[in-house]
Amino acid sequence: MADSMSVNRALFDEVMVPNYSPSAVIPVRGQGSRVWDQQDREFIDFAGGIAVNCLGHCHPALVDALKTQGEKLWHLSNVMTNEPALRLAKKLVDNTFAEKVYFANSGAESNEAALKLARRWAIDNFGEHKSQIIAFKQGFHGRTFFTVTVGGQPAYSDGFGPKPADVVHAEYNNLESVEALISDNTCAIVMEPLQGEGGIIEPISEFVQGVRALCDKHNALLVFDEVQTGVGRLGHLYAYMDLGVSPDILTTAKALGGGFPIGAMLTTTEIAKHLKIGTHGSTYGGNPLACAVAEAAFDTVNDASVLTGVTNKSARYFAALNAINEKYNVFSEVRGKGLLIGAVLNEKYQGRAKDFLVAAMEQGLMTLVAGANVIRFAPSLVIEDELIDEGMARFEKAVAAVTAG
């Protein structure tokens, strides 16, 4: 196995649980928004590890942080704290609505913590009856059993036996559907400030304002899942900052570590006090290596020029996709915000998003899907304009190949 060429796609089928079906392409190195596979074939990365690699591959600031911390301290239990965790938590608190931070390993774990905290807060303050969680159809919050139940996609949650109880789903962007479900038994409304896996659906401003008002009316917490939208993805440090509302709890992961696994839950002091000593925990949460890399990623992204650049680069993507559509007539809509963009296939190409993804790979471009009908783009926040143009030229060739049959 010393020869890297002996590590191939067939080995996956031999040794891995078959819940994934990865491409035959096996990347071995990356730099910025370019990736090379085992055969040294180059790809432009418009996928970003599903909105994770916010600074591309091997960004110098992240590499330096990892090397520096890697020679100091790798891991401690939470019987002790550590400097990188405290520095990162202070920066998150100083730059958001939050007053307290809880670290985890992933978005799902961060959401698990948020849901448990919301329930505990409600039960402590109001009693056992206040346990209902309202989420949204086509939402996505992770793959633990609690988070996948809250996520509004039965295909991901069915078939595992009885689900956690008292979770209901409203229609996104439909305030009346929320009003029909909410009561004084509701402990929290959980929502993405832009639905990612559900198809890149932006919220209507009045909808978000209305959800906040309903939470206030019924003494329920508003939980924003910013796992995919956070850390600059939509052109603000966090998406709530452009919506005119603040959540009570916010979760963040993916881009937070720029590729190193880390997640966090942010909340207020008053709410946080309900996670007393021993009520929740994570072995690797607050890991010094993860927090050191995340601090470097946070510092790099939390810069006016980078955040402004996201908006400018977004316009470049939209222009290119609309130009392709004028020529090939494959999209009913190009939607999204910042650098989380969805090209929605029209009726003629329904269900064929993966065909476009595969065709793009053949042209040397890595993209994503968001369901069967949406091609998703989540590139590095600092991708060069020339690479956007080159990648879009490759994507046009992929579109031409699919439409040619």
Indicate if 294 and 311 belong to the same structural domain. no
pLDDT at 101 over 60: yes
Which CATH number covers residue 345? 3.90.1150.10
Is position 21 within any domain? yes
Which CATH number covers residue 189? 3.40.640.10
Is position 360 within any domain? yes
* Angstrom distance (rounded) from CA 290 to CA 262: 6
Binding residues: 107-108, 140, 143, 225-228, 282-283
Tens-digit pLDDT profile for residues 12-24: 999 999 999 999 9
Percentage of the chain modeled with pLDDT above 90? 96
pLDDT at 132 over 60: yes
* Angstrom distance (rounded) from CA 190 to CA 192: 7
Indicate if 229 and 318 belong to the same structural domain. no
Question: What's at 246, amino acid-wise?
Answer: S
Tens-digit pLDDT profile for residues 243-280: 999 999 999 999 999 999 999 999 999 999 999 999 99
Do residues 295 and 93 lie in contact, with contact meaning Cβ atoms separated by under 8 Å?
no
Rounded to the nearest integer, the mean pLDDT of the chain is 96
Q: What mean pLDDT comes out for the span 123-142? A: 96
pLDDT at 3 over 80: no
Binding residues for pyridoxal 5'-phosphate: 107-108, 140, 225-228, 283
pLDDT at 4 over 90: no
Q: What DSSP letter does each residue of 244-310 carry, written as one string?
A: T---SEEEE-GGGGTTS--EEEEE-HHHHTTS-TTS---SSTT-HHHHHHHHHHHHHHSSHHHHHHH
pLDDT at 6 over 90: no
By C-alpha distance, which of 108, 146, 337, 313 is closest to 238? Answer: 337
Instruction: Provide the sign of the torsion angle of the four alpha carbons 125, 131, 134, 140, taken in this order.
Output: positive
Is position 143 within any domain? yes
- Considering its fold, how many domains does the chain have in total? 2
Q: Determine if the pTM surpasses 0.85.
A: yes
Is position 387 within any domain? yes
pLDDT at position 2: 46
Task: Identify any residues that bridge with 375 across adjacent strands, giving them in sequence order.
Answer: 343, 369
Binding residues for N(2)-acetyl-L-ornithine: 143, 282
pLDDT at position 5: 54
Given 280, 301, 322, the domain boundary residue is: 301
pLDDT at position 170: 98
* Angstrom distance (rounded) from CA 272 to CA 253: 19
Indicate if 114 and 214 belong to the same structural domain. yes
Do residues 38 and 28 lie in contact, with contact meaning Cβ atoms separated by under 8 Å?
yes
Give the range of the structural domain holding residue 35, as residue numbers without chain letter.
Answer: 4-58+304-403
Given 263, 278, 301, the domain boundary residue is: 301
Is position 64 within any domain? no
Indicate if 242 and 357 belong to the same structural domain. no
Candidate from 75-79, 269-273, 387-391 with smallest mean pLDDT: 75-79
By C-alpha distance, which of 84, 24, 28 is closest to 57? Answer: 28
Indicate if 317 and 351 belong to the same structural domain. yes
pLDDT at position 1: 42
DSSP 146: H
